[in-house]
């Protein structure tokens, strides 16, 4: 898959482009400019009956327009960062060139009555007058402008719109192995990528489950996970589609999937809030999100009382940063005060959601996934060092809040500067953290950053590695840990990355850190993560265990190899820290 294609939009764009092209050429012709009539040219080839010829040629012309528009959608859309009509115009150079050099001369050949002709290049190109070429160029330019204008945003949907409900569940479970009720084996996990932030000031909804085809293929996705040997799957039912308002839930978006997971597995780690909220809740600046999401979490736990593992809010730090500091998602703000506000609202939501779940299921286990980050100063410059130190404190903020950890003095001053009171901090500090809380540490090759002389953060790649960075989190919180996300953008290098991450996990466990799981994220390729989902381009991010055709990637084979090799080993078949937590 090259790009995600919006098929209907492409068909519409192709038909409209072809009509506009023909209309423009007819107008020029009526205005007395000698030019090419494309439909007329097509009609004159291969048809004897005039009216049939014209109808067939019109259909052929529209079909060719559609094919070119689909080609544009797959290969060329969003390749240039230009306004869409200009992208279409640039693309039109390809069909125009082919029309001039290949198709038009060939159409002339096809009008011959003889079965063969002897030709040379000069004879072949002879019918191409300057005016003919100009007509073909103008016609294709109009086509490109129209296609470019119509074919936009192949992924996502208006925020007030709901996509079609997921495919119905096929009840063919007699051949499947049933999920064990309780298991304390090491968690070999993956996840279904489910981010749903809004962009364009809240008007456009990104929905990764929709873009990756999960709503259509969800049952097959779970089956593929089982075939790899996955024991746990991080699964985020679409909060923005289920939670219609206080007390109003549309469980059609989750019932069938949850029933399948309950019966056949993998064991779900339910991810309740993943980078977005329903439109009626606004964004992460809204102080009401904590109580609203607590209602949702409680309702969810009541509807699916068998679910034991929860991630109440995914990657709070990343969510607050992208939404309120980097201006990419949801509220799309770029200021420190907004970041602090979002981080507190998210942490507050996480706490309230956990409490609501515990009321329904006292032995629930929380996996608080957070992106592990590290900032290295490039040089001894005072300002650069200060910035790196500050960022190295800031990365802990949401976890400090939910794990009732004291924030540093510098961070306290920063929070005071942005309106946080000691009383607010004390509320978190005095919280009784649930015993069954697992610290999930995500790691990607861009998580280690260099602060350069200009104070900008540059991706360092794997400098110190997961072992070193995760150990910093362990030293701070001393909680049972799990490697909760990793992948590699370079599909060819992904097996190498997988095994190296795995060795990091083993080394940290050997050092005495209680580790209960490992995750390759995600099951399938993702969409637009190369641009942090900031624009609805539909670019495939080839990081999945399976591609979007649901064909195994090399890393999918490698993960199965790894799981098969380790799952029955002592310490993995029964993972002691998890066993204690399950009791």
Residues within the interface to other proteins (CB under 8 A)? 1-2, 5, 7, 45-46, 67, 70-71, 74, 98, 102, 106, 109-120, 227-228, 490-493, 495-496, 498-500, 502-503, 525, 540, 542, 547-549, 551-558, 560-562, 564-565
Strands laid side by side in the 198-199 sheet: 157-158, 204-205, 198-199
CB of 524 to other proteins, least distance (A): 11
The nearer residue to other proteins, 114 or 171, going by C-beta atoms, is 114
* Cα(199)–Cα(295) distance, integer angstroms: 25
Whole-angstrom Cα distance, residue 324 to residue 262?
A: 37
Cβ contacts of 176 within 8 Å, gap of 6 or more: 223, 226, 263, 264
Greatest alpha-carbon span in the chain:
94
For residue 199, the minimal CB distance to other proteins (Å) is: 24
Nearer to other proteins, 59 or 67 (CB): 67
Alpha helices by DSSP H, listed for 418-493, are 422-429, 466-477
Helix or strand (DSSP H, E) at 189: strand 187-191
Smallest distance from other proteins to CB 146, Å: 20
Q: How far is the CB of 375 from other proteins (least distance, A)?
A: 27
CA separation for the pair 120, 387 (Å, rounded): 70
428 vs 502 by CB, closer to other proteins: 502
CB of 215 to other proteins, least distance (A): 15
Smallest gap from residue 92 Cβ to other proteins (A):
16
* Tokens 């795995």 belong to residue: 502
Question: Token pair of 150, please?
Answer: 């119509």
CB of 542 to other proteins, least distance (A): 3
What is the distance between the alpha carbons of residues 294 and 440, in angstroms, rounded to a whole number? 21
Nearer to other proteins, 160 or 490 (CB): 490
Nearest CA to 92 out of 33, 6, 13 is that of 13
User: For residue 321, which of 398, 388, 389, 420 has the smallest C-alpha distance?
Assistant: 398
Q: CB under 8 Å to 306, separation ≥6 — which residues?
A: 262
Closer residue to other proteins in complex, CB, 556/577 = 556
Does 266 sit behind a cis peptide bond, omega within 30 degrees of 0 on the bond before it? yes
83 with 23: CB under 8 angstroms? Answer: no
**What is the nearest approach in angstroms of other proteins to the Cβ of residue 450?**
23
Select 369 or 526, whichever has its Cβ closest to other proteins.
526
Query: Closest by alpha carbon to 572, among 502, 520, 467?
Result: 502
Smallest distance from other proteins to CB 95, Å: 11
Token digits of residue 183: 């298991």
Cα dihedral 310/313/314/316 (nearest 10): -150
Give the nearer residue to other proteins in terms of CB position, either 310 or 497.
Answer: 497
Q: Going by C-beta distance under 8 Å and a sequence separation of 6 or more, which residues neighbour residue 490?
A: none
CB within 8 Å of 8: residues ≥ 6 apart: none
Which of 31/115 has CB closer to other proteins? 115
CB of 60 to other proteins, least distance (A): 10
């Amino acid at each position: 898959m090259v790009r995600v294609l919006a098929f209907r939009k492409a068909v519409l764009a192709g038909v409209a482009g072809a009509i506009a092209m023909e209309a423009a050429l007819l107008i020029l012709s009526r205005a007395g400019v000698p030019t090419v009539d494309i439909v007329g040219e097509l009609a004159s080839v291969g048809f004897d009956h005039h009216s049939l010829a014209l109808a067939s040629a019109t259909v052929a012309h529209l079909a060719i327009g559609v094919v070119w528009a689909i080609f544009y959608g797959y290969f060329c859309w969003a390749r240039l960062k230009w306004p869409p009509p200009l992208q279409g115009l640039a693309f039109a150079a390809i069909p125009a060139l082919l029309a001039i050099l290949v198709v038009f001369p060939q159409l002339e050949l096809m009008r011959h009555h003889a079965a063969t002709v002897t030709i040379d290049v000069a004879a072949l190109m002879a019918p191409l007058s300057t005016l003919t070429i100009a007509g073909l160029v103008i016609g294709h330019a109009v086509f490109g402008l129209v296609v470019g204008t119509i074919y936009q945003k192949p992924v996502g949907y208006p925020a007030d719109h709901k996509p079609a409900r997921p495919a119905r569940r096929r009840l063919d479970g007699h051949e499947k192995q049933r999920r064990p009720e309780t298991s304390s084996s090491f968690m070999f996990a993956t996840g279904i990528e489910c981010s749903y932030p809004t962009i364009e000031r809240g008007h456009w909804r990104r929905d990764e489950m929709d873009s990756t085809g999960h709503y259509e293929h969800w049952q097959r996705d779970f089956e593929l996970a089982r075939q790899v040997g996955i024991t746990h799957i991080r699964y985020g039912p679409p909060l923005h589609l289920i939670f219609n308002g206080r007390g109003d839930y549309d469980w059609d978006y989750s019932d069938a999937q949850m029933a399948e997971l309950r019966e056949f597995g993998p064991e779900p780690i339910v991810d309740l809030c993943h980078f977005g909220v329903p439109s009626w809740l606004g964004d992460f600046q809204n102080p009401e999100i904590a109580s609203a999401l607590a209602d949702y979490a409680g309702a969810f736990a009541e509807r699916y009382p068998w679910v034991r593992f929860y991630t109440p809010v995914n990657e709070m730090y990343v969510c607050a940063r992208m939404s309120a500091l980097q201006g990419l998602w949801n509220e799309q703000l770029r200021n420190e005060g907004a970041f602090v506000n979002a981080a507190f609202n998210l942490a507050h939501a996480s706490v309230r959601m956990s409490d609501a779940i515990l009321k329904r299921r006292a032995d629930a286990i929380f996996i608080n996934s957070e992106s592990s980050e590290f900032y290295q100063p490039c040089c001894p410059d005072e300002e650069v060092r200060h910035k790196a130190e500050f960022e190295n404190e800031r990365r802990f903020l949401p976890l400090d809040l939910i794990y009732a950890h004291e924030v540093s003095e510098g961070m306290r001053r920063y929070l005071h500067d942005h309106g946080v009171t000691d009383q607010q901090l004390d509320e978190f500090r005095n919280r009784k953290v649930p015993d069954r809380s697992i610290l999930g540490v995500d790691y990607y090759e861009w998580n280690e950053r260099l602060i350069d002389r200009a104070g900008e953060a540059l991706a360092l790649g794997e400098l110190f590695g997961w072992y070193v960075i995760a150990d910093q989190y362990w030293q701070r919180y001393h909680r049972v840990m799990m490697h909760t996300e990793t992948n590699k953008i370079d599909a060819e290098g992904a097996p190498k990355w997988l095994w190296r991450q795995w060795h990091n996990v083993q080394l940290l466990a050997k050092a005495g850190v209680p580790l209960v799981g490992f995750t390759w994220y995600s099951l399938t390729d993702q969409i637009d993560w190369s641009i942090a989902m900031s624009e609805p381009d539909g670019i495939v991010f080839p990081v999945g265990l399976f591609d979007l055709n649901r064909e195994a990637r090399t890393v999918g084979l490698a993960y199965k190899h790894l799981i098969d090799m380790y799952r029955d080993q002592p310490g993995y078949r029964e993972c002691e820290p998890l066993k204690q937590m399950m009791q």
